[in-house]
């Protein structure tokens, strides 16, 4: 049976993981109030003018351009001096991996404010965010509701980060991975492997600190940090999810899309239509990263090999990793001979190594 329409729905994902599309589908339902990125740090200073400005057409994020501004649902929740009632900048990435039993009255009150605002209008509250995979247990314990997790091919997800670079400098999405990993208790070994240390100050200052330090870091460092956060996040989220949606299949398999829509309706009473979902074309070309090598090294550093291969919900993550990071085919005799010739030529200075 569908749950009562007043029960909150949480959509958890990483960045560049089709969460905007899924949020948009929820937003299209009149009986729903769908909040976009309700843990984004910009909410601390949000104004009516900023709401009007933040549109898909001005974002540069390749989102569909039709519809209202992203943050319209927050219009009635602004303080006179700016900012959403109850929101604090620390909620964005501080305690990204928030233990289920940790007390945080301020964060709980903020989430309750959003839920109650929707209920006052007799609408179902939907909170869709890229910053909540690590706190799904905390949210479930306090607010119940339905928890939907979106997962994407990790290589293509990171390549989406990388493709948004306007110059050879890390994007905001990449910088957030550095911040999260450097501050996560469970990620200490991975942070040490990459030479990351936790910065101090407000989130903006911490992002600027990693930007300054890592603006020329090779792409493999960015991917390794992302992979660490990806694995740690889904290891925390998958066991607590009511429904996991593989967004790589959502746009390419109509039957799967219908199955996911039906599952959401059964869980929440909200009927969605994923018929217009299209899977993006894979990012082509190389960027000089040995994805499998970096992933294996990071997973070993985090000591997660056994956890990833254990039975249970985390198998979804393991299958995603295996598919995205296939083992190389064994080298043929010809490959070995050619490699030997290149090595010999390099020593003699006749060919490039």
Give the pLDDT confidence of 115-139 residue by residue, as tens digits.
Answer: 999 999 999 999 999 999 999 999 9
Bridge partner list, 246: 151
Cα torsion for 251, 253, 257, 262, to the nearest 10°? Answer: 180
Assign 187 to helix, strand or coil.
helix
Predicted pLDDT at 342 = 59
Predicted pLDDT at 330 = 54
User: Which residues does 247 contact at the CB level (< 8 Å), separation at least 6?
Assistant: 17, 18, 21, 22, 150, 151, 152, 279
Q: Tokens at residue 265, please? A: 């309706």
Q: Tokens at residue 232, please? A: 């740690």
User: Which residues does 100 contact at the CB level (< 8 Å), separation at least 6?
Assistant: 137, 138, 140, 141
Predicted pLDDT at 285 = 79
Q: Tokens at residue 180, please? A: 């999260």
Predicted pLDDT at 331 = 52
How far apart CA 200 and CA 224 sit, in angstroms, is 23
Bridge partner list, 14: none
Structural domain boundaries of the chain? 9-171+230-283+312-324
Predicted pLDDT at 51 = 95
How far apart CA 11 and CA 30 sit, in angstroms, is 18
Which of the residues in the chain have pLDDT under 50? Answer: 1-4, 59-60, 350-353
Predicted pLDDT at 280 = 79
On whether the 9-171+230-283+312-324 domain is CATH 3.40.50, my answer is: yes
Q: Which residues of 208-229 are buried (b: 16+ CB within 10 A; e: fewer)?
A: ebbeeebeebebbbbbbbbbbb
Q: Is there a contact between 22 and 139 (Cβ–Cβ < 8 Å)?
A: no
pTM: 0.89
How far apart CA 248 and CA 260 sit, in angstroms, is 13
């Amino acid at each position: 049976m569908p749950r009562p329409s007043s029960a909150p729905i949480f959509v958890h994902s990483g960045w560049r993981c089709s969460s905007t599309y899924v949020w948009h589908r929820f937003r299209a339902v009149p009986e729903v109030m769908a909040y976009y990125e309700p843990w984004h740090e910009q909410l601390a200073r949000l104004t009516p003018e900023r709401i009007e400005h933040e549109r898909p057409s001005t974002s540069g994020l390749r989102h569909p351009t039709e519809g209202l501004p992203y943050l319209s649902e927050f219009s009635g929740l602004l303080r006179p001096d700016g900012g959403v009632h109850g929101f604090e900048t620390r909620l964005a990435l501080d305690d990204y991996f928030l233990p289920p039993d940790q007390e945080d009255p301020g964060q709980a009150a903020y989430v309750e404010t959003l839920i109650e605002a929707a209920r006052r209008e007799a609408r179902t509250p939907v909170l869709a965010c890229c910053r909540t995979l690590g706190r799904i247990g905390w949210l479930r314990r306090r607010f119940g509701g339905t928890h939907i997790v979106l997962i994407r091919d990790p290589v293509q997800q990171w390549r989406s980060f990388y493709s948004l670079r306007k110059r050879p400098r890390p994007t905001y999405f990449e910088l957030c991975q550095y911040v999260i990993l450097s501050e996560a208790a469970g990620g200490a070994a991975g942070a040490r492997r990459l030479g990351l240390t936790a910065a101090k100050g407000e989130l903006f200052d911490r992002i600027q600190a990693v930007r300054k330090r890592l603006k020329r870091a090779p792409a493999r460092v960015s991917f390794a940090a992302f992979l660490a956060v990806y694995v740690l996040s889904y290891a925390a989220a998958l066991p607590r999810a009511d429904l996991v949606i593989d967004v790589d299949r959502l746009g390419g398999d109509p039957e799967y899309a219908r199955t996911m829509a039906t599952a959401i309706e059964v869980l929440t009473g909200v009927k969605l239509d994923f018929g217009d979902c299209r899977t993006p074309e894979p990012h082509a070309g190389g960027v000089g990263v040995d994805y499998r090598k970096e992933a294996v090294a990071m997973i070993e550093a985090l000591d997660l090999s056994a956890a990833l291969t254990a039975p249970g919900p985390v198998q979804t993550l393991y299958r995603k990793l295996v598919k995205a990071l296939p083992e190389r085919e064994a080298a043929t005799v010809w490959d070995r001979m050619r490699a030997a010739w290149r090595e010999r030529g390099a020593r003699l200075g006749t060919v490039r190594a």
